[in-house]
Amino acid sequence: MSWTCHGSNNTTMVAALKRAGLDAPQPLGYGATISAPHMHAVCLELLARQLRPGARVLDVGSGSGYLTLVFAHLAARGPGAVVVGVEHISELVASSLAAARGVPWAAAMLVDGSLQLLQGDGHAGYPAAAPFDAIHVGAAAAAVPPALMAQLAPGGRLVVPVGPEGGPQQLVVVDRDERGRLSSRVEMGVM
């Protein structure tokens, strides 16, 4: 992870340890945060059907790479699996790559190309690896990005927080049925 639980004295160390256990977003640095643990759990549950062996997964705003690696672990057991994390902050991409290289199965996926951690504009998706069975967006968007909806495979699902950055948002779920039709619903409010 990009954050650590230490301090220059006992008081700051204890405060850092308390923050680390909070079910709340935590700072990664560079103005970014990692989502609250309950949000990771909610998104994993919403994407459970799509996160099968061999799945093609896009993680937009991949940040620390934590959830991207969870997706990779779930999809890696099948042939054809591709998991792409796209992050716009270069330092977070470098950090997530270093962390992934420290996990033997993830390092092997990086080498064979079935796991990619890239710098780029996630709202554009990643057409080179589309279509995706599952798309997760970790940062709020003003609206559901059309490029991401276009990159959903039949039977695919997109999960994205929609609303103003720092303000009230809604977790929106977009599904593409087997005929290619899109439907969406609000799953819950998020902050």
Give me the amino acid identity at 188: M
Pairing relationship of beta strands 26-29 and 56-60 according to DSSP bridges: unpaired
Residues 6+ apart with CB under 8 A from 190: 39, 161, 163, 169, 170, 171
Longest dimension (CA), the chain: 60
Annotation says 114 is catalytic = no
| CA atoms within a 13 Å half-sphere pointing along the CA-CB vector of 127 | 4
Q: DSSP assignment, residue 36? A: P
Q: Which of 2, 35, 62, 64 is catalytic?
A: 35
Assess contact for 81 and 110: CB atoms under 8 A. no
Residues 6+ apart with CB under 8 A from 143: 162
Q: Which residues are catalytic?
A: 35
